[in-house]
Chains A and B, each alone.
Chain A
Amino acid sequence: MEKQKRIHRSGLAVSLLCAAVLAACASVGINDNLEAARAEVNSASADPDVVSRAPLELKNAQEALNRADNLNRGRESIAEVNHHAYLAAVRAQTAKDLARSRRDTDEMTRMQAEVDRLRLANRTREANIARADANMARADASAARTDAAIARDQAQVAAQQAAAASVQAQSATQQADIERARAAQSAAEAAEAREKLRVVIVELQGKETDRGLLVTLGDVLFQTGRAELLPNAGPRMDKLASYLNQFPDKSLLIEGYTDSVGSDALNQELSIRRAEAVRAALAQRGVSPTRMASRGYGEQFPVASNSSPEGRAMNRRVEVVVADDRGNLKPRA
């Protein structure tokens, strides 16, 4: 019985010890560490980034929190509750950091595409600038080539113009030569004409008047009152015809005149017949009748006084007027 009591006492002591241990182990009421850990885990769970990027770590945190809660509910050792609460909080923070780290990585991957795009854009821009420079250089070169081509064309044109000018000069020289030759010929012809004229003036006693070259055939060729040429007129007419035949193109005007003796009507008719006689004589000697015209002016236009025999003799005459160089032949007004 004594032994049983002792044992009983000892059992009581063990029970008391156990109660003490239990009191030491068990938690009472709200644990601040546990609530802080819960807040940490809840905030991690509410973050979609953490849920999607660090699910394993988040699950570990939640499990630690559950464990701490269970231990707390079971009034287990506060050290164990605190321990698991601590693990829950640290793992929740770890989950958040991992999520942030992984989000950064994803973000950088995404950014890398932008970096590549920008790098390409920059390189393209540089290439464009280089290409623009090259284009400009090419344009410059092209412009220079064009200038050179224009200069070459201009030189060619100038050379052609020079050649043309040379040909023209040559042609002008030839023309001048021709003109000179013509002038020389004309001069020679003029000299010849002058010589012939001299012959007429000297040998036929012609004279130059404003009406043309005038050759006067005196009354010695005709008997008074008659219109037939005297035989001694022959040589004189030969010489005149020969002279006139040298200028076959020149028109001739043959004019008859009388002195004042006798009636005007008679004198007029006589002057016509004398002019006609000379015309016929010249025609007989080869002077074309078509170039000859005859007129009679009677006693008009005396060349001397009718009061003396010598004067009247001078007034009885036939004048042959040769057209001038321009072909003009002016009858008396």
Chain B
Amino acid sequence: MNRFVLGSPMLLAAAIFAGCASAPPPTEQMAVGRKAVERAAGTPEVVQLAPTELERARMKLADAERAMANREYDQARRSVDEAEADARLAEARAGARKNDRALAEVNQAIRGMREELARRPG
């Protein structure tokens, strides 16, 4: 009884520490995050069209690596998850910008052809 009463705050503290503080190292998430950033950085259109977003992903990944080295695993998990999300945003944004440009070119081409048609009707 006494043992239990005595031990219960300890257990509670341990539980709280487990919830808030560093859990096991997020090895798998690190791998996924690294791969995502690597893929975005290796895509020329992302480098060219979403450099800010890509840079943020890289910095987040660097943070995560640093946290891993410091055994701050919670921090590492958060940073690498955010790095992955940033990398995906960089890809999506680059794709959107690329398609915007392509669409504008198609529109211009159509305008050109319409003008051509209007100039000298066959």
Contacts and interface: CB of A to CB of B under 8 A. Distances in A.
A76 B87 CA distance: 27
A118 B117 contact: yes
B95 A108 contact: no
B32 interface: no
A205 B10 CA distance: 200
Given A83-B82, A100-B99, A108-B106, 20 more contacts: A4-B2, A14-B9, A21-B13, A22-B16, A76-B19, A79-B74, A93-B89, A94-B92, A97-B92, A98-B92, A101-B99, A104-B96, A104-B99, A104-B100, A104-B102, A115-B109, A115-B113, A121-B122, A125-B117, A129-B120
A12 B12 CA distance: 12
Given A18-B12, A87-B85, A97-B93, A118 B102 contact: no
A118 B96 CA distance: 26
B41 to A, nearest CB: 17
A94 B91 CA distance: 9
B28 interface: no
Contact of B106 (A24, A79, A94, A111): A111
A17 B99 CA distance: 55
A82 B88 CA distance: 19
Given A83-B81, A97-B96, A115 B110 contact: yes
Interface of B: 2, 6, 9-10, 12-13, 16-17, 19-21, 74-75, 78, 81-82, 85-86, 88-89, 92-93, 95-96, 98-100, 102-103, 106-107, 109-110, 113-114, 116-117, 120-122
Q: Is the interface of B mostly helix, strand, loop or mixed?
A: helix
Interface string A75-97: 01101100100110011011001
A108 B20 contact: no
Interface of A: 4, 7-8, 11-12, 14-15, 17-18, 21-22, 24-25, 57, 76-77, 79-80, 83, 86-87, 90-91, 93-94, 97-98, 100-101, 104-105, 107-108, 111-112, 114-115, 118-119, 121-122, 124-129
Contacts of A79: 74-75, 78
A15 B6 contact: no
B86 A18 contact: no
Given A17-B13, A87-B85, A105-B99, A118 B113 contact: yes
Q: Is the interface of A mostly helix, strand, loop or mixed?
A: helix
Contacts, number: 118
Contacts of A87: 81-82, 85
Nearest to B57: A90
B117 A121 contact: yes
Given A17-B13, A86-B82, A125-B122, A111 B116 contact: no
A108 B13 contact: no
Nearest to B109: A115
Contact of B88 (A22, A94, A114, A128): A94
A15 B89 contact: no
Contacts of A101: 92, 95-96, 98-99
Contact of A111 (B20, B21, B95, B110): B110
Contacts of B81: 83, 87
Contacts of B78: 79-80, 83
The 7 closest A-B pairs by CB, nearest first: A125-B122, A104-B99, A128-B122, A97-B92, A118-B113, A101-B96, A90-B85
Contact of A14 (B10, B100, B106, B122): B10
Contact of B20 (A25, A91, A94, A127): A25
A128 B2 CA distance: 104
B5 to A, nearest CB: 8
A63 to B, nearest CB: 12
Nearest to B15: A18
Contacts of A94: 85, 88-89, 92-93
Contacts of B113: 115, 118-119, 121-122
Nearest to A114: B110
A215 to B, nearest CB: 108
